[in-house]
Amino acid sequence: MRNRYIYALLVLGNMFWGCSFPLTKMVVDYVPRDSFIFFRFLTAAILLWIIIRAVPSVEKPKLSDLKKENIGKLLPAMVSGFLGIFMYQFLFFMALERTTAINSSIIGALNPVMTIIIGAVFAHQYINKKMALGVGISFVGAVFTICGANIAALTGFQFNSGDLLMLAGTGVWAIYNVYCQSKCSHFNALVLTFWNFVTGMVFAFPLALAEKPWEWIGSVPFSSWAALFCLAAFASVGAYCIQFYAITKIGSARTSIFVNLMPFFSMMASVILIGEELEPVKVLTAFIIVAGVIICQKYGRRPDEIIHSN
């Protein structure tokens, strides 16, 4: 019964992540990219700080952590924050300016497979034949998503630039995963995420100022502000806290399987929230990608089990 409660939470957390794609589409037309990153992670950092303050066993981040003599300890968190928050969100936002929420979520489902590939290249993780098969199947699904299952587009390289940006973002996220696993293991997960949020916010701040928010902030509709707050509260903070809690209770292996639900939640949310058309080919390509991910998870080490080799 206890595990069923955790499984229900994981379904909820992946629903939050799935909804982040159409929610971002609700913001892109009104809030410039760098301002979006700044406001989202300013809100997320404040909310996560409140959560950390409420957890007695977690050492609280302090301003003194930013002193010159302590920067060396925080540097891995800052690097991972630049990769996983600023750079990923930069590409994520640009992708959603150019492609659909459904397409981007399907390509985003490649993350576990992409992490395995990055881990093999940079962390010397062994990939067996069945894992390679899973990687290949997932990439076939991704390619067919990007070209809309149009073979002519494959031969003529008529790919959607937004889909390619999302693929690049997934690669950056995979690098972030591998870097965190090899360089940030000494951090408490909640504290690491807090400093990630702060780092992304700091990098975005000067670029957000250059977008002159005082000129457009009054024209942003309430629905877009509400979507941005939901992204910060649920997709950034809530989903991560659920993930962290589940890993401590049932382990990372069983927890990671639930990420396969994300593209399907995104499809439903995209149809309901922003009226995107759900094409049968998109459902098929999502199943292809998820099938490849499941093969990788079943027959090889998960991304969280990558062993770093110096």
The DSSP string of 68-116 is: GGGHHHHHHHHHHHIIIIIIHHHHHHHHHHHS-HHHHHHHHTTHHHHHH
Q: Which of 195-209, 260-274, 295-309 has the lowest mean pLDDT?
A: 295-309
Q: Is 60 exposed, middle or buried (0-12, 13-18, 19+ CB in 10 A)?
A: exposed
Q: Once rounded to an integer, what is the mean pLDDT over residues 239-268?
A: 74
Q: Which two tokens stand for residue 24?
A: 């971002």
With 0.85 as the threshold, say if the pTM is over it: no
Q: How far apart are CA 130 and CA 127, in angstroms?
A: 8
Report pLDDT for 178.
79
pLDDT for residue 150: 62
Q: Of 24-28, 89-93, 95-99, 118-122, which gets the smallest average pLDDT?
A: 118-122
Phi–psi pair at 14, nearest 5 degrees: -75, -25
pLDDT of residue 154: 52
Length of the chain counted residue by residue: 310
| 135's tokens | 């990687």
Task: Using pLDDT thresholds of 50, 70 and 90, give the confidence band for residue 264.
Answer: confident
**Quick one: pLDDT at residue 309?**
33
Q: How far apart are CA 256 and CA 294, in angstroms?
A: 10
Query: What letter does residue 56 receive in the DSSP assignment?
Result: T
Residues 180-203 have pLDDT tens digits of 877 887 788 888 889 999 999 999
Whose CA is closest to 120, among 38, 62, 169, 178? Answer: 178
Question: What per-residue confidence (pLDDT) applies to 305?
Answer: 46
How confident is the model over 229-238, as pLDDT tens digits? 999 999 999 9
SS3 227: helix
pLDDT confidence of residue 156? 52
Q: State the pLDDT at residue 230.
A: 95
Neighbour tally for 209: CB within 10 Å? 13
Percent pLDDT > 70 in the chain is 81
Average of per-residue pLDDT across 208-223 = 94
Task: Tell me: pLDDT of 148 over 70.
Answer: no
**Max mean pLDDT range (64-73, 172-181, 268-277):** 268-277
Q: What is the DSSP letter of 27?
A: T
Q: Which residue did the predictor score with more confidence, 210 or 64?
A: 210
pLDDT of residue 41 exceeding 90, the answer is yes
**Residue in 174, 48, 67 with CA at minimum distance from that of residue 118:** 174
Question: When comparing pLDDT for 133 and 169, which is higher?
Answer: 169
The CA distance from 35 to 204, in Å, is: 7
d(CA 194, CA 88) in angstroms, rounded, equals: 16
Name the residue with higher pLDDT: 277 or 78. Answer: 78
Quickly count: other Cβ atoms within 10 Å of residue 134's Cβ: 25
d(CA 181, CA 173): 12
Query: 251 vs 208, which has greater pLDDT?
Result: 208
Core vs surface per residue 243-275: b (16+ CB within 10 A) or e: bbbbbeeeeeebbbbbbbbbbbbbbbbbeebbe
pLDDT bracket for residue 306 (50, 70, 90): very low
